[in-house]
Amino acid sequence: MATGFHEKKEKSLLRLSLFMATVFVFVAFGFALITQSGAILFDGVYSLIPFFMALLTLKVANLVQLPDDDRFHFGYTAIEPTLNLFKSLIIIATCLYAVIDAVNSLFTGGNGAKYGFAMAYGLFATVGCFGVAAFMKFHSKSLRSDLVKVDAHTWLVDGILSASILLGFAIAYFLEKSVYVIYAPYVDPILLIALGLCILPIPGKIMLDSLKEVINKAPPEAVSLVIEKKLKQSLSAVPFEHVEVRISKSGRDIYLLVHIIVDESFGLTTITELDDIRKRSEAIMRQWNPSILMDILFICDPDLAD
């Protein structure tokens, strides 16, 4: 398992997320009951998702710290992108359901709401969500945790959602006080449709990124070239013809399978000397990026690297 990772800090951030999600769930459902607003109800449901996901996330955060064992020969880090994939799918499903429900509401005369109370909720939720997102983003910079990173994105999306709700309710409130009062009931469903469609790309990107890790897709070529360049620098003392690298990312770990195709001038007398080369190269790579795990093989026949 990779070292240098701040497990306690990660868990404390995830516990904070769980606590704040609990607060927002109760506040959102309370205001939804008072105001009869579908947008606030959707915001509450969206807050309910991080609540349940945070429970799972804390469990996963404990699992990914465990070393390899007889059941999981490569450790538990693959659970991390799997959970993030599951999170993104739940959020996408919620957004689509909200949009469909709002479209139905538009065709049945809209939805009136108590926009004064709704504005108070929008202000509270906007400040709170952006505050939690900023706090987690700031403290996650020193961590190698996709769990915290995705959680910060989730709170950011919730903040955007709440800010949009606040703006929409302000518009509806002033419409009610004007000659355009007949249009006020349509603000809530229109707002809900706009929010659902605007949010979709964010969990969509998380879903695609997590899926790539789940199926062990290689990172982008630009990333691979940087890693390969650094690896060859760490092997500068080794006479090789070519270095073949296979790269996969699983959660917080980046795994490298390295085949070093040596030339005729490569001559060592003991296995210990090969181990020293491996240790030196891995130390250099892990100093550059602590998330890197490596296996190095020395070969003469290039076909063995295919």
For the cut 70, the answer to whether the pLDDT of residue 42 exceeds it is yes
pTM beyond 0.75: the answer is no
Residues in the chain, overall count: 306
Q: What backbone torsions phi and psi does residue 3 show, to the nearest 5 degrees?
A: -100, 175
What are the tokens at 182?
């007949």
Site of tokens 């929008």: 122
Tens of pLDDT, residues 73-124: 455 566 777 777 887 888 788 788 778 877 887 787 766 667 778 888 889 9
168-207: per-residue pLDDT in tens? 888 888 888 888 888 877 877 787 788 778 778 878 888 8
pLDDT at position 4, please? 44
Alpha-helical regions (H) of the chain: 7-35, 38-63, 79-106, 115-140, 146-176, 187-199, 201-214, 221-234, 271-288
CB of 35 within 8 A of CB of 115?
yes
What was the pLDDT predicted at 1? Answer: 40
Give residue 68's pLDDT band: very low, low, confident or very high (50, 70, 90). Answer: low
CA distance 7 to 232: 31
Question: How does residue 3 score in pLDDT terms, banded at 50, 70 and 90?
Answer: very low
Kindly give the pairing relationship between strand 253-262 and strand 240-250: antiparallel
Token pair 């606040």: residue: 166
Write 233-236 long-range contacts (CB < 8 A, 24+): 233/284, 234/280, 234/281, 234/284, 234/285, 235/260, 235/277, 235/281
Listed range (28-42, 51-65, 131-145, 232-246) with the worst mean pLDDT? 51-65
> For 231-270, what is each residue's pLDDT tens digit?
888 888 777 778 888 887 776 678 888 888 887 777 776 7
Q: How confident is the model at residue 130 (pLDDT cuts 50, 70, 90)?
A: very high
269 or 289, greater pLDDT: 289
pLDDT in tens, 19-41: 888 888 888 888 888 887 777 77
* Domains with residue ranges and CATH for the chain: 7-214 (1.20.1510.10), 221-305 (3.30.70.1350)
